[in-house]
Amino acid sequence: MQDTALAARPLWKRLPWLDYSGKVSPLKATVFVALFIPGLVTLYRYEADMLGGRPITEVIHVMGLWGIRLLAVALAMTPFRQVFRQPKVALIRRMIGVAAFCYLAIHFSFYVVDEKYVLLTVASEIVHRFYLTIGFSALLIMTALAVTSTDGMMKRLRRRWQTLHRLVYLAAIIGTVHYFIQVKLNVFEPTWFAGVIAWLLLYRVMAHWLGIPRASSFVALLSLSIAVGILTAVGEYAYYAIFTGVRAGRVWQANFTLAAGLRPGWIAMAVGLTFTVLATLWNLSEKWRMPRSDPSGRLAPARRAARSS
Ligand code: HEM
């Protein structure tokens, strides 16, 4: 059924802002335009000489950050679709994933520019610097996923497509480690970001074991968010204890006072809790958003569709 639909779609009906029936999808069109914004803003800042003394390095940083942020947004689409019961979100997941790849490809290209296009140096650095070796491995995975993201490849690879595309989890983990290592001293941002990635991956494990309805419950999401907050704080403590000369006990204690501001564990937990509260409110408001049932007591079609999605 899906195969026939994929095979039948002519090229003009596959434009990024169209849905499967070939009509303009406001959701897809808006996301498509929004995905260009970070790139266009960076281009403008580059042209206007607003990127500081080392503009190429700044472009590498900004593109790397947007690449990994969009990768996280793409990973967030599945929990969002399942918990908020929004099947339409599936329409934009692939587009966001491909955009993440494009930003990362630019990130890499500017690294090559920074190395004065000497590909031998680039290759040697990738081989000898661990953070570049793993960054490059993650980019290779993202390239494979982007190349096989077309309808045609989906059809050709069938079940293997899903197996292949599960590698996105590995790319997200390796990409986060690359982010973490290159920061060198202040690991504040990559630590809470790693917590968010952990939430997104552990949600999937939870949905696999408990089933989507139970994994979407307030208690399950709340427990996951608290667990991820603690895990992030423990990870931060372990990093300082193992890899630095800093007294890790003081880093741990900073979690219980606001003197050093909100620590990464609290931020990762807050992101999870925000999702939990919004999802709970959204699902509770279902009865006001949709007609409850017809006089025979059966669920109204819109409500039934939301339940089964
Ligand atoms: C999926 C793959 C990748 C991801 C997700 C990624 C992500 C990132 C992120 C988030 C940063 C930090 C930006 C900041 O702190 O402002 C970064 C920095 C960097 N990345 Fe990547 N990156 C990837 C692949 C690569 C590759 C293939 C290379 C080059 C071979 C590379 C070279 C660099 C360099 C040179 C820096 C800056 C390091 C510094 O300033 O000392 N990255 N990357």
Q: Are residues 38 and 142 in the same domain?
A: yes
**Residues 225 and 295 reside in one and the same domain:** yes
Question: pLDDT digits over 170-189, tens only?
Answer: 999 999 999 999 987 789 99
Same-domain status, 201 and 177: no
Q: Position 230: which residue type?
A: I
Mean pLDDT, residues 74-100 taken together: 95
Ligand 1 within 6 A of CB of 272: no
Cβ atoms of residues 182 and 65 within 8 Å:
no
Based on the structure, what is the number of domains in the chain?
2
Same domain (yes/no): 48, 21: yes
Instruction: Give 189 or 292, the one with higher predicted confidence.
Output: 189
Percent of the chain at pLDDT > 90 equals: 75
Cα(64) to centroid of ligand 1, in Å?
5
Position 306 scores a pLDDT of 52
Do residues 307 and 221 share a domain?
Answer: yes
Q: Are residues 54 and 126 in the same domain?
A: yes
42, 107, 112, best to mutate for ligand 1 pocket (most atoms within 8 Å of CB): 107
CA–centroid distance, 107 to ligand 1, in Å, is 7
- Nearest-CA residue for atom 8 of ligand 1: 64
Among 127, 152, 184, the domain boundary falls at 184
Do 248 and 301 fall into the same domain? yes
User: 53 C-alpha to center of ligand 1: Å?
Assistant: 19
Query: Does ligand 1 come within 6 angstroms of the Cβ of 136?
Result: yes
171 lines ligand 1 (CB under 6 A): yes
Residue 246's pLDDT is what?
84
Residue 288 has a pLDDT of 77
User: Tens digits of per-residue pLDDT, 246-257?
Assistant: 888 999 999 998
Mean pLDDT of 95-103: 98
Share of the chain above pLDDT 70, in %: 90
pTM: 0.90
Ligand 1 proximity of 135 Cβ (cutoff 6 Å): yes
Q: Is 132 in the pocket of ligand 1 (CB under 6 A)?
A: yes
Taking the centre of ligand 1 as the mean of its atom positions, its distance from the CA of residue 245, in whole angstroms, is 25
User: Could you say which DSSP state residue 223 is in?
Assistant: H
- 174/194 same-domain check: no
Nearest to 112 by CA among 60, 62, 67, 58: 60
What is the domain range of residue 161?
Answer: 1-184
The 8 Å CB, 24+ separation contacts for 17-20 are 19/91
Task: Report the alpha-carbon distance of residue 137 to residue 270 in Å, rounded.
Answer: 31
292 band by pLDDT with thresholds 50, 70 and 90: low
Burial degree of 178 (CB within 10 A; 0-12, 13-18, 19+)? buried
Kindly state the average pLDDT of the residues 214-226: 97
Rounded Cα–Cα distance for residues 255 and 263 (Å): 6
